[in-house]
């Protein structure tokens, strides 16, 4: 306490606090609003953070702590509580200084420590890839968010300030962070109704990912500004007059939409800037809900509404709490004008989303707690889905996370008239899974507005949906291609995985039994029940399944227990030898790759994805090492790029008629005529077989085929056909 007072004296020229701290208090509503204990709490956090980050610098050269102050300032502007502001000032203390969770808890409170912990990335784990790291950290953050939603509000402010100051980082890192913000943070902010943060993020993302278009808009928009201001005045003049007559008090706001959304309109409508009119909105904020409708009537009396653009989100709020009336009318000179009508509280919620609840905490604490709970339920469900997907790859995890953050929503109804909110583009199957996972899994059809519709048709707002189920119905993997919600996707995937596992177990058991008979050890299996422990499998079933699925060979398992039966050395060359020589041959057959017209550059191929002719590719320029060519879908692209690398367009320098060598690995259950059927299937496509080898291992045949195909399309058709043949388990390109 004495130290705090001393700091206060030393840090000031007569003023009570340093200016940056004073600004935080002012934004929070001034000393009166914060209260003496709140003010002192935040002040202690300020000093603690400042000391903890002493000597650390940001990439911009500024003291590190300025970042923490900025983050707190963003949140103070949103009127968050002293605990959140303090946590914001301390948000990097656990991650970047020597202090621990315990220290923060002892110095401040459990609440502050938990918030800071929630935004702290895991640091003591080694990650295989950038994507793994991203997935693990999002999972951790979302888990803490389910307990206290303020974690994500702090994280948004943190990310927003990092985006504002991104220009100090190398270009590749800028793009990576911008992409992550675009894919996860901005949609999450949208989902939580935090439009102000989302809009600023989107404009910053736009500046980095579309620099040309952004510079152009920065030049063009000010030119329209004067016209726009005059026009809005003209538009509002008669409305204001009538409003005054009727005795309504209102706040009028008008502004351009964000640069990013203007850009999207230009791109989607394929129009130049001059031809896009729908780029600003007029907002009328009134006192009471009833007045919103009176104002609406007034506007429509003056200007003709465009029917399909009218939306009443007051009667039917969006799931993120957004409430407003939206109408687009034909204004003077025939230009369309979007008008938003709402109350003050709705306006705050529309701007700050879930964060606005803290502003209304005192006035109406019960209802705002319910609102927060509702948001948290949604997040908890998301976390639940993400949790059950524990075994998914990081890539699938990020995919699932992205799906549920989809932009627009539709409102559909159950036969009983209950409303269900689904993402735009959702299908009857999504609806079925939304009702219950069992309804989804057994869904065979749907009636939309009393008419039978295919399961993959798109639902529209207002549709009444009735699901038809059958006990004998089972999901199939084609469902995954059209469902839009994480809930549906995750349930279908879980079911398929379970099925695959069951089949693998059945097949694996069969293979083991035959093999044991072959080596005359059939009776010994029961003594090997615990073999899985020695072999480090989680269970006996999983060990057996690994054989059925082809991940392990039966000899690699039984060889451990009957070494004498498997002691004969195998003379085959290693698989990697085959792979290497094949790739080299495939590449020699084309003229190589051409790089924006230039041949003969130093070229190497990414070992991570082994691209072959016909694959979509791109190149990275590496200083001093020429160009590395990767598959466009390679995980390395966009995640693991060393900073000095630059992306460049490359193409296979191949003639149209040229054929490409492809190596397929076919896994099948041993049966009569398998080889004949495989070769016949391939020949039926008029495809030459270069090499074919089959290796029988117990009951499973591993086939390696090198073929000449015209392209990826032909290959995909062939793969489908091969997969459909009897006994074929998998067909994979190597």
Min dist CB 26 to Mn ion, Å, is 23
Min dist CB 85 to Mn ion, Å, is 15
Catalytic one of 20, 23, 26, 96: 96
Using CB under 5 A, which of 7, 39, 70, 92 touches Mn ion?
Answer: 92
Half-sphere exposure of 474 (CA within 13 A, CB side): 8
Smaller CB separation from Mn ion, 158 or 615: 158
CB 619 within 8 A of CB 629: yes
Q: What 8-state DSSP symbol labels residue 184?
A: I
Cα 313 to Cα 292, 303, 421, 591, distances in angstroms? 11, 21, 13, 60
Smaller CB separation from Mn ion, 152 or 618: 152
Active site residue 96: yes
**Residues 160-189 contacting Mn ion, CB under 5 A:** none
Smaller CB separation from Mn ion, 92 or 207: 92
Q: How much helix, strand and coil, in percent to the nearest 5, is found in the chain?
A: 55, 15, 30
CB 566 within 8 A of CB 558: yes
Smaller CB separation from Mn ion, 162 or 702: 162
Tokens read off for 567: 């002691």
Min dist CB 42 to Mn ion, Å, is 18
**Residues 402-461 contacting Mn ion, CB under 5 A:** none
Smaller CB separation from Mn ion, 158 or 348: 158
Stretch in the footprint of Mn ion (CB under 5 A) among 158-166, 223-231, 306-314, 394-402:
158-166
Size of the residue set binding Mn ion (CB under 5 A): 2
Q: Is 594 helix (H, G, I), strand (E, B) or coil?
A: strand
Beta bridge partners of 707: 662, 689
Q: What does the alpha-carbon distance between residue 104 and residue 120 come to, in Å, rounded to a whole number?
A: 13
Give the closest residue to 155 by CA, choosing from 121, 196, 129, 203.
121
CB 251 within 8 A of CB 351: no
Smaller CB separation from Mn ion, 53 or 342: 53
Min dist CB 155 to Mn ion, Å, is 9
Using CB under 5 A, which of 131, 158, 347, 463 touches Mn ion?
Answer: 158
CB 533 within 8 A of CB 574: no
Cα 720 to Cα 64, 474, 728, distances in angstroms? 56, 21, 11
Give the closest residue to 424 by CA, choosing from 436, 440, 411.
411
Q: What 8-state DSSP symbol labels residue 63?
A: B
Residue in the structure block whose two tokens are 């007559």: 245
Angle at 614 between CA 608 and CA 617, to 5 degrees: 50
Q: What does the alpha-carbon distance between residue 137 and residue 129 come to, in Å, rounded to a whole number?
A: 13
Min dist CB 91 to Mn ion, Å, is 6
Stretch in the footprint of Mn ion (CB under 5 A) among 128-136, 153-161, 246-254, 362-370:
153-161
Active site residue 13: no
Min dist CB 67 to Mn ion, Å, is 6
Catalytic one of 40, 77, 95, 690: 95
Tokens read off for 661: 């060598």
Min dist CB 78 to Mn ion, Å, is 17
Smaller CB separation from Mn ion, 120 or 610: 120
- 635 makes contact with Mn ion (CB under 5 A): no
Q: Which residue is nearest to Mn ion (CB)?
A: 158
Catalytic residues: 95-96
Query: Which residue ranges make up the site for Mn ion (CB under 5 A)?
Result: 92, 158
């Amino acid at each position: 306490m004495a130290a705090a007072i001393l700091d206060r004296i030393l840090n000031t020229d007569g003023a009570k606090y340093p200016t940056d701290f004073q600004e935080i208090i002012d934004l929070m509503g001034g000393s009166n609003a914060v209260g003496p204990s709140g003010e002192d709490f935040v002040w202690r956090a300020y000093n603690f953070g400042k000391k903890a980050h002493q000597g650390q610098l940001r990439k911009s050269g500024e003291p590190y702590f300025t970042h923490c102050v900025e983050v707190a300032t963003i949140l103070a502007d949103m009127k968050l509580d002293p605990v959140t502001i303090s946590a914001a000032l301390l948000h990097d203390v656990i991650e970047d200084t020597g202090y621990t969770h315990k220290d923060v808890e002892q110095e401040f409170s459990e609440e502050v420590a938990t918030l800071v912990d929630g935004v702290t990335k895991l640091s003591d784990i080694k990650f295989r890839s950038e994507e793994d790291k991203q997935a693990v950290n999002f999972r951790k953050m979302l888990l803490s968010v389910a307990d206290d939603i303020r974690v994500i509000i702090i994280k948004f402010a943190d990310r927003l300030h990092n985006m504002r100051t991104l220009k100090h980082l190398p270009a590749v890192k800028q793009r990576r962070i911008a992409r992550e913000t675009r894919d996860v943070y901005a949609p999450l902010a949208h989902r939580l109704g935090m439009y102000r943060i989302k809009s600023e993020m989107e404009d910053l993302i736009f500046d980095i990912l579309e620099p040309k278009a952004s510079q152009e808009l920065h030049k063009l928009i000010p030119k329209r500004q004067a016209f726009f201001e005059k026009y809005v005045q003209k538009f509002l003049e008669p409305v204001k007059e009538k409003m005054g007559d009727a005795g309504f008090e209102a706040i009028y706001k008008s502004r351009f939409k964000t640069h990013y959304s203007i850009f999207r309109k230009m791109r989607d409508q394929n129009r130049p800037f001059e031809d896009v009119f729908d780029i600003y909105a007029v907002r009328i904020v009134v006192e009471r809900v009833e007045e919103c409708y009176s104002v609406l009537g007034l506007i429509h009396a003056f200007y003709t509404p465009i029917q399909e653009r009218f939306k009443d989100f007051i009667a039917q709020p969006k799931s993120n709490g957004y409430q407003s009336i939206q109408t687009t009318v034909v204004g003077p000179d025939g230009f369309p004008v979007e008008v938003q009508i709402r109350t003050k509280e709705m306006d705050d919620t529309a701007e700050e989303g879930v964060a606005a609840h803290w502003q209304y905490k005192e006035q109406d604490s019960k209802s705002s707690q319910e609102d927060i709970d509702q948001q948290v339920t949604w997040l908890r469900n998301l976390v639940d889905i993400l949790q059950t997907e524990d075994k998914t790859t990081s890539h699938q995890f990020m995919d699932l996370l992205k799906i549920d953050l989809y932009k627009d929503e539709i409102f559909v109804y159950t036969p009983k008239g209950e409303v269900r909110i689904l993402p735009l583009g959702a299908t009857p199957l999504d609806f079925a899974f939304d009702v219950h996972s069992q309804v989804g899994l057994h869904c065979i059809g749907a009636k939309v507005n009393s008419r039978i519709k295919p399961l993959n048709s798109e639902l529209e707002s207002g549709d009444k949906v009735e699901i038809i189920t059958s006990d004998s119905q089972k999901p199939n993997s084609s469902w995954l291609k059209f469902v839009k919600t994480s809930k549906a996707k995750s349930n279908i995937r879980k079911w398929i995985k379970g099925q695959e596992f069951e089949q693998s177990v059945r097949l694996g058991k069969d293979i083991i039994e035959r093999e044991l008979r072959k080596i005359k050890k059939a009776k010994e299996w029961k003594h090997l029940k615990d073999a899985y422990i020695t072999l480090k499998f989680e269970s006996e079933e999983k060990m057996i399944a690994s054989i059925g699925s082809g991940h392990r060979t039966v000899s690699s398992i039984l060889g451990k227990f009957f070494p004498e039966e498997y002691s004969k050395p195998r003379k085959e060359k290693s698989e990697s030898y085959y792979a290497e020589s094949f790739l080299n041959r495939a590449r020699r057959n084309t003229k190589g790759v051409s790089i924006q017209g230039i041949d003969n550059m130093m070229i190497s191929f990414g070992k991570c994805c082994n691209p072959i002719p016909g694959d979509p590719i791109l190149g990275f320029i590496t200083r001093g090492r020429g160009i590395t060519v990767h598959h466009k879908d390679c995980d390395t692209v966009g995640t693991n790029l060393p900073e000095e690398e630059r992306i460049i367009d490359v193409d296979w320098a191949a003639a149209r008629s040229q054929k490409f060598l492809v190596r397929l690995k076919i896994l099948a259950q041993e049966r009569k005529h398998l080889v004949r059927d495989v070769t016949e299937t391939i020949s039926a496509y008029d495809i030459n077989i270069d090499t074919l080898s089959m290796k029988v291992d117990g009951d499973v045949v591993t086939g390696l085929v090198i073929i000449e195909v015209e392209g990826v399309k032909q290959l995909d058709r062939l793969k489908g056909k091969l997969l459909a043949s009897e006994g074929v388990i998998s067909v994979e390109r190597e």
